[in-house]
Chain A
Amino acid sequence: MDKRPEDMNLKEILVEMKNISELIVDLAYSSILFDSEAMADEVSELEETMDELNHQLTIRALLASRTREDAEQISEILNVAAAINDISDHAQNISEIVSRDLDIHSVISESLKHTDEKIFRTQIEELSQLIGISLRETQFASRIGVTIIAVRRGKRWTYNPRKNYIFQKEDLLITRGTEEGNLILKEIAKGRRSKW
C-alpha cells in the first residue's frame, strides 16, 4: 500500500481489501501455529486497516451512485466489501486466541503443522545480501522454494510484490514455503549466508 486509505480511489480500495483478505487468513492461522504474538499483532493492524478501507469505500461508493443501475451495482460492491471485512474480523478472532495468551491446546498447532508449506515472517537485517537487489534476482521460488507473499516496509504493505521490487534494510517479508527453504531465507536475511 503506497497511499493512505483516504487518498485512494474506489478501485484501489477494493484491490487493497481483496489482497488483505487473502493474506490475513494465512497470517491468523500462522500466528496460532507458531504461537506468535508478533504475527497476531500484524493481523490486528491489518484488521484496523481493513476497517478504515471499508469506511472509505462506503463513502466513495455512496457518492458514485447517480442512477438506479448505478445503485444496484454499487450495492453489490458494498455487499462484497462487507463480506471481505467480515473475513478479516474472523481472522482476528482466530489470532486473538494467541493474543489472549490462553493455553492453546496442542491440537490446534498440531493440526496446522501438517501442511508441508508454511508461512514465515522474516526481517531483512543490515548485512543481508538482499538489500538493493530485486525479487527477480533472488530467484527464491526456483532456488529455495520460497514465495514472497507480502512485504511490510515501515507501516506500508505490498502484496504479491512484483519482480522488480527492490529490497531494503528492515523490510519484513511474509513468505510461504517449506520449512527448510524458510530457514535458508532467514540465514540470508540475517546476513549469515551470501549464496543460495
Chain B
Amino acid sequence: MVTLLRELIQQMKDTSELMIDLSFAALLYRDKEISEDVLEMEEQMDALNYTAKMTVLEMAHDVSKEGLASVLELITATENIGDAAVRIASNVFRGNIHPIFKEAMQETEDIVVRIRITEDSVLDDQTLEALKLATKTGMHVFLVKRFREYIVNPVKDFTLREGDIIFAEGPPEGKILLESLI
C-alpha cells in the first residue's frame, strides 16, 4: 500500500508541475488545445487525489496522526496547485493577450510544441530512442497523450503511434526542425 501511495504522490507532483508549464504555454500561444489538455489533466488529478486520500485513510491504524495529517496536506496542496494551473490556462478563452503579458511570457528561451502523429509521419511506430529527437532537433519530448491518457516523461523505448500527441520543449529553431520531420 505504501508503494501505491508513493506512486500516486509522485504522479500528482509530476502532473502539477507539468500543468503549470503547459498553462503558461497555452496562455502565450493562445492555444486552446493545450488549454484543454490542462483541463483534462485536472480531471486526472481529481481522480489521483481521491485514490491517494483513500489509500492514506486505509493506512490509518498503522501510522501516527501527525504523519497522516502531513500526507493529506501534501496531497491537498498538490491538488490546489493543479487548480491554480487550470485558472491560468482558462484565460486563453477570453480573447486577446495584453502585449506586455506576451512579452513577459516570452522571456523564457525554450518553447513548447504540441504535435499529432499522423499515419504517414516518420515518427509513427518508432521508439523515442530510435528517433533521437533531442540530438537531431534539440527538442525534448516530456509528455505524450494517447487517447485520454497522459504519459509523463515517457521512457526511451516508448513507441509512438498514429494518433499520439507529443509535447516537446526546446529552442525555437528546434520547433522548425521538428515540424519539418513530420
What is the interface of chain A, defined by CB distance below 8 A to chain B?
A: 10-11, 14-15, 18, 21-22, 25-26, 29, 32, 69, 72-74, 76-77, 79-80, 82-84, 86-87, 90-91, 93-94, 97, 102-105, 107-108, 110-112, 114-115, 160
A83→B81 CA distance, assembly (Å)? 9
Judged by a CB distance under 8 angstroms, whether B10 is at the interface is yes
Set A21, A77, A97, A105: member contacting B98, Cβ < 8 A: A77
Residue of B nearest to A26 (CB): B17
Closest beta carbon of chain B to A118's beta carbon, Å: 13
* Given A84-B84, A86-B80, A111-B6, A73 contacting B103 (CB threshold 8 A): no
Residue of A nearest to B98 (CB): A73
Looking at A77, A83, A115, the one whose CB has the most chain B CB atoms below 10 A away is: A83
Residues of chain A lying within 8 A (CB to CB) of residue B96: 69, 72-73
Contact B107 A114 (CB under 8 A): no
Closest beta carbon of chain B to A155's beta carbon, Å: 22
Contact A87 B20 (CB under 8 A): yes
Residues of chain B lying within 8 A (CB to CB) of residue A107: 2, 5-6, 9, 63, 67, 71
Contact A80 B16 (CB under 8 A): no
What is the interface of chain B, defined by CB distance below 8 A to chain A?
A: 2, 5-7, 9-10, 13, 16-17, 20-21, 24, 27, 63-64, 66-71, 73-74, 76-78, 80-81, 83-85, 87-88, 91, 94-98, 100-101, 103-105, 107-109
A36→B112 CA distance, assembly (Å)? 33
Q: Beyond the given A90-B78, A108-B70, please list 15 additional residue pairs across the A-B interface where CB-CB is below 8 A.
A: A11-B103, A25-B20, A73-B98, A77-B100, A80-B88, A90-B80, A90-B84, A93-B73, A105-B68, A107-B5, A108-B74, A110-B2, A111-B5, A112-B10, A114-B6
Contact B91 A102 (CB under 8 A): no
Residues of chain A lying within 8 A (CB to CB) of residue B71: 105, 107-108
Residue of B nearest to A96 (CB): B73
A102→B65 CA distance, assembly (Å)? 10
Set B10, B66, B74: member contacting A32, Cβ < 8 A: B74
A32→B67 CA distance, assembly (Å)? 13
